[in-house]
Amino acid sequence: MKISDISSYLESIAPLSLQEDYDNSGLIVGEPDTLIHAALISLDCTEDIVDEAISKGCNLIISHHPIVFKGLKKFNNKNYVERAVMKAIKHDIALYAIHTNLDHISGGVNAKICEKLGLQNVQILSPKKNLLKKLVTFVPLCHVERVRNAVLEAGAGHIGNYSDCSFNVTGTGTFKAGENADPFVGKVNEVHQEEEVRVETIYPDYLERKVLVALLEAHPYEEVAYDLYPLSNSFYQAGAGMVGTLQTATDEMQFLQFAKSALGARVVRHTALRGKPVRRVAVCGGSGSFLLKAAIAAGADAFVTADFKYHEFFDAEGKIIISDMGHFESEQFTQELLFDIIKKKFPNFAIHLTAIDTNPINYLI
Ligand SMILES: [Zn+2]
């Protein structure tokens, strides 16, 4: 299997365009055509992880956090980033990161945390905006089903739990083929009227190429008429954080104890208890303080996340219990998630979960 086989599969699940602007997900070191013997999965990509890949015979490391965030100008082995990258290059080990794009999908990092906490009816906490587009095209009656099916199969037409969503209305199309045209219907230099169906559907922007290729392949006309509209609707299938409900309302201290053990946290830093049971819970793996307002607005009683700063804890204002579990702790199950995602598609491929705890934070208790 080539690196590109695995990367294109991962990117079909977590498209690179869903990553944040500051992020650097994707293939960081290596060439897409390289054959992979085995892959190592880790949360972080450190020098120790590269050593582990060498010892386990893995020539691909798939990590959640990218080892390279900013431009590297020098390679002098002066810090852990330079050392890890240089060691990987010297040993022909490819480095791949699947970071905020994996955070932003509905089956990603946060879904895994929700699963560990036993949350139900989970939804994206802060859905992506400006990601949806509308496709309108005009198809002769004889080809409507074929064209509609092609664009739907390419991924258009999903709204919540519904697929194959489209709207179709019949009307009359007119056109006059020019001298060099080879029209599917009508004659050159004659105005033609054709009964056509206006088919409209929606798709997320990252599927645009796939949807258009499907449209153009299935449509019988030489020149396909279609319109693409940006939509300001939110895209509820992708975005930051998640929110869900516990099966039964739980005493708040009991909930914190449960969340601590479910996520394997050594310490939980939390705001004052509110004297109310916890039923609705918001989660965000890693740094989640930017979602505090969204968590409160979603009616969450508790927010399970990490990396809150001192002053940010004050913002709970008695409206929610912020529970900071630690960055590594909240995201560690991402390794398991990646393992399952890859195993499902490539059951015979050799993948290893790292045996190294890369958490740079130690606790003195
Ligand atoms: Zn993280």
pLDDT digits (tens, 9 = 90+) for 75-101: 999 999 999 999 999 999 999 999 999
Query: What pTM does this model have?
Result: 0.89
Measure 25 CA to ligand 1 centroid, in angstroms: 12
Residues 6+ apart with CB under 8 A from 220: 140, 142, 143, 184
8 Å CB contact between 211 and 153: no
Measure 326 CA to ligand 1 centroid, in angstroms: 10
Measure 287 CA to ligand 1 centroid, in angstroms: 7
| pLDDT, average across residues 42-55 | 97
Name the percent of the chain lying above pLDDT 70.
Answer: 100
The pair of structure tokens assigned to 207 is 């599927």
Task: Write out the chain in H/E/C secondary structure.
Answer: CEHHHHHHHHHHHCCHHHCCCCCCCEEEECCCCCECCCEEEECCCCHHHHHHHHHHCCCEEEECCCCCCCCCCCCCCCCHHHHHHHHHHHCCCEEEECCHHHHCECCCHHHHHHHHHCCEEEEEEEEECCCEEEEEEEEEHHHHHHHHHHHHHCCCCCECCECCCCEEEEEEEEEEECCCCCCCCCCECCEEEEEEEEEEEEEEHHHHHHHHHHHHHHCCCCCCCEEEEECCCCEEEEEEEEEEEEEEEECHHHHHHHHHHHCCCCCCEECCCCCCCEEEEEEEEEECHHHHHHHHHCCCCEEEEECCCHHHHHCCCCCCEEEECCHHHHHCCHHHHHHHHHHHHCCCCCEEECCCCCCCCCCCC
The pair of structure tokens assigned to 56 is 């386990």
| pLDDT, average across residues 270-281 | 97
Measure 182 CA to ligand 1 centroid, in angstroms: 55
Measure 76 CA to ligand 1 centroid, in angstroms: 26
Tell me the pLDDT band of 70, cut-offs 50, 70 and 90: confident
Name the percent of the chain lying above pLDDT 90.
Answer: 97
Please list the residues that pair with 27 across neighbouring strands. 96
Asked if residue 231 has pLDDT above 90, the reply is yes
Measure 215 CA to ligand 1 centroid, in angstroms: 38
Measure 65 CA to ligand 1 centroid, in angstroms: 6
Measure 307 CA to ligand 1 centroid, in angstroms: 10
Measure 154 CA to ligand 1 centroid, in angstroms: 31
Mean model confidence pLDDT for the chain: 96
Measure 204 CA to ligand 1 centroid, in angstroms: 25
Measure 103 CA to ligand 1 centroid, in angstroms: 9
pLDDT, position 365: 85
Measure 180 CA to ligand 1 centroid, in angstroms: 57
Measure 138 CA to ligand 1 centroid, in angstroms: 45
Measure 286 CA to ligand 1 centroid, in angstroms: 4
| pLDDT, average across residues 118-131 | 95
8 Å CB contact between 196 and 147: no
